[in-house]
Structure 1
């Protein structure tokens, strides 16, 4: 507690009242932009996700498939999972959806379960919808040739 009191006194001495805090970024621009620390950036627009389309190609081996449809308002918690209403082994044929992989039924110890493994139950940890958005940072990623 003594440390925080000392830090507060140092801040009061070092920063005049009414002055805004300017971060020393070392010349690196953050995703927030060039805003003072006490300012909020405007929220970016929502990206448009097409309603339904064919499964999207994968760019690398073992990439989790991308979600080719809108998922806003999908409910996933410990009691229910909207994804399984179409993608489970019991429902995929009637819904026309892709069935989930057998690997999603494997327990941590390698045992095959009769239901989706708890570690694979929260789909959005790995699977995400894809939009045609400008990359946040530059990169030179090239997809695996054999995947196209």
Structure 2
């Protein structure tokens, strides 16, 4: 038997394609599941060019464009080298945004998820009432 995640058993036969999922494009920032999680992309990036020469994300999220675009600024860590030296521009190692940041689609999860936030496990925040 072929596991569900590996596709149909008959690789040479014709298999109808599933419909493309609908992207979540509500432009609402999503809560992060854990500290330092890269934020997800809450808008469509279809047609965005992301290459060595062009990065469409930076046209809104780079520090000098955020006010006019109304977009959140990329983290200051994206302007640092591995040795924590500040740069005048985005670090080449942080240039390809979709290596860490991803859009979200309205799909059924491939595997079950039993993640629970610490607050749901009875752990209280320090200094809480």
TM over 0.5: same fold? yes
TM-score by length of 1: 0.72
Please name the residue that 1:36 is paired with.
10
TM-fit CA distance, 1:104 = 0.5
2:94 is the counterpart of 1:120: yes
Please name the residue that 1:62 is paired with.
36
Which one scores higher on RCO, CA 8 angstroms, separation ≥ 6?
A: 2
2:112 is the counterpart of 1:138: yes
TM-fit CA distance, 1:42 = 3.3
Distance 1:32 1:130 in 2: 22
Distance 2:104 2:7 in 1: 24
Distance 1:119 1:144 in 2: 32
2:70 is the counterpart of 1:84: no
Indicate if the aligned counterparts of 1:60 and 1:144 stay in contact, CA closer than 8 A. Answer: no
Distance 2:116 2:62 in 1: 32
CA RMSD of aligned residues (A): 1.9
User: 1:45-103 deviations in whole A, cap 9, x for unaligned?
Assistant: 22212444221111111110011101100001010100000000000011100100001
Distance 2:23 2:54 in 1: 24
2:31 is the counterpart of 1:49: no
User: 1:82-133 deviations in whole A, cap 9, x for unaligned?
Assistant: 0000000000011100100001011122211111111110000000111231
Bigger shift: 46-55 or 32-41? 32-41
Please name the residue that 1:101 is paired with.
75
TM-score by length of 2: 0.81
